[in-house]
Chain A
Amino acid sequence: MKTEFKIISDLIDKNSHVLDVGCGDGILMEFLIKEKKVNIRGIEISKAKVQNCIAKGLTIIEGNAEDDLRQFPNKSFDYVILSQTLQAFLNPEKVIDELLRIGKQAIVTIPNFGYWKIGLHLLFKGTMPVTKTLPDEWYNTANIHLCTIKDFFNFSRSKNFKLSKSIALKNDQPSFITSSNLNRKNFVSNLGIFLIKS
């Protein structure tokens, strides 16, 4: 199982009510059901992936998070998860606001565009970086709003969100992000995982 999913699972209480936004093939959903006995729903835009989730017996709603989150009442989930999807939205700020409206807490993970290998790629090759977490070319990527760990950290501050947990992943090694180590973590980590409250 991906380290990212294990960390997400550690952030979640047993038997809680969870929504996975952009749940893909439902791998995280299955993992959380097994590990935490959660009551979990997924939203996914790809018809093929929705079919895969149905085949696994997961409760899944085909839809687009930018339009379809509004149907959920305020605080109707204990956690709303957005795993490496934020950068694909037209309006990430609006989506985050919605996550925090419908969820008591939100877990957001982002591929870190501040990672040194990405900076180096851009600096020396002069082309848009292609990495394991960002595997597509600039002309066919869904990632239109990439950001860094530091960007997200500052964004949460400016929006007055409470960052309950900020975790950086460096080669699958987790560590906490604080205001004092922010610049370093932003440089050495490829993924950021944030547990936030409004």
Chain B
Amino acid sequence: MNIKDNIKTLTINKPLKLDCGKTINNFPLAYETYGSLNKDKNNAILVFHALTGDQFVAGINPVTNKDGWWSYAVGPGKSIDTEKYFVICANVIGGCMGSFGPSHQNPETKKIYGTDFPVITINDMVNAQVNLLDHFNIKKLFSVVGGSMGGMQVLQFVSNYPDKTKTAVPIACTSSHSAQNIAFNELGRQAIAADHKWQDGEYSSKNTIPNKGLAVARMAAHITYLSKKGLQEKFGRKLQERDDLKFGFDADFQIESYLRYQGSVFVDRFDANSYLYITRAMDYFDLVKQNHGNLSNAFKNTKAKFFIISFTSDWLYPTQENKDIVIALNAIGANVGFVEIKSDKGHDSFLLDVPDFLKALKNFLDQSYLEK
């Protein structure tokens, strides 16, 4: 598999001081673009991906040969219309689709970083990606858009670069990772660490992969992306290719088989150490604390127009946490719209075919684009 042929990479020469105190230099940032930048360079949208996403937002992902992770929302004529907008998406640093991450080689030791890779934060991710604006010579984006961890990056981006975007759309996210969020992430990390093949993160040099641990991490996380009602309706107690219970520990139920499948396909495309690093970045995200307890301060210097979207059945980043962002923005008279979309599809709603969501996103962007 020659992945590298399909990955565009920008080498960031400007030193980036990370929150952990270390500085990184000459590091790669993998990205993809869709549509074309107009003459005035005012139609660019920077999309931020979620925990297990990558830069391949739309069309066919050339590495997995599957649809891009946000194909429902991004493409010609879609909510984020690539016939109209120039869409940029980068793989986050710490990731495993070409950007600087724990599977890269440390130039000093010539060893794969593994857990020697510096711990990164949402702030670091955003500070790395802002370099793409210079690369494309864009002074101001039309929008920054993202769901889940992508939404956290939207909030951090506007806070760090208040003049660099006209609009901002954080979707199904939070301004501060909750204890429950951290708990689920810790479960995933511990599942990876419990796999003896993880080898304290040095599995690459030992030609092995902690696939069992990573699969369990994915299975647990996957449950948090769905709603109880959605699971019940899709699977109920339906049995997997059998007429009756087998009185054993094979996958009797369809839901078991489904989760096992989700786990097994995930390990083919995702790096276990990246999973540790990115979940850690999410856990460290606390825009409230960054602003000394007052979230409004994060946005006090921006004139960006916000549109915040939550989903009724999302219990991972529930409506109230999204509304807290709306409240912080209203407290300083910022321009903010908010809608809660009715959906049984849980946190994953933003990635799926949820017509009310796709319509609201499209209308907000297209109408805002008309405004001067």
| Binary CB contact string for chain A from 53 to 90 against chain B (1 if under 8 A, 0 otherwise) | 01111111111000000011100100000000000000
| Binary CB contact string for chain B from 335 to 372 against chain A (1 if under 8 A, 0 otherwise) | 11111111000000000000010011001100110110
Which secondary structure dominates chain A's binding surface? mixed
- Tell me whether A59 and B327 are in contact (CB under 8 A): no
Also in contact, A61 and B368, with CB within 8 A (given A47-B342, A51-B360, A55-B363): no
B364 CB contacts on chain A under 8 angstroms: 54
- Tell me whether B337 and A60 are in contact (CB under 8 A): yes
CB under 8 Å from chain B, chain A span 28-64: 47, 50-51, 54-63
- Tell me whether A57 and B340 are in contact (CB under 8 A): no
| Binary CB contact string for chain B from 305 to 338 against chain A (1 if under 8 A, 0 otherwise) | 1010000000000000000001100110101111
- Tell me whether A47 and B339 are in contact (CB under 8 A): yes
How many Å from the CB of A115 to the closest CB on chain B?
Answer: 36
| Contacting residue for A61 out of B331, B337, B342, B356, CB 8 A | B337
- What is the CA–CA distance of A64 and B360 in the complex, to the nearest angstrom? 19
A71 CB contacts on chain B under 8 angstroms: 326-327, 330-331
What band does the interface of chain B fall in when counting residues whose beta carbon is under 8 Å from A? Answer: 20 to 34
B331 CB contacts on chain A under 8 angstroms: 71-73
A56 CB contacts on chain B under 8 angstroms: 367
- Tell me whether A62 and B340 are in contact (CB under 8 A): yes
Residue of B nearest to A69 (CB): B330
A76 CB contacts on chain B under 8 angstroms: 330, 333
How many Å from the CB of B287 to the closest CB on chain A?
Answer: 17
- Tell me whether B367 and A55 are in contact (CB under 8 A): yes
A62 CB contacts on chain B under 8 angstroms: 338-340
How many Å from the CB of A118 to the closest CB on chain B?
Answer: 36
- Tell me whether A63 and B370 are in contact (CB under 8 A): no
Which B residues lie at the A interface, using CB under 8 A? 305, 307, 326-327, 330-331, 333, 335-342, 356, 359-360, 363-364, 367-368, 370-371
Which A residues lie at the B interface, using CB under 8 A? 17, 47, 50-51, 54-63, 71-73, 76
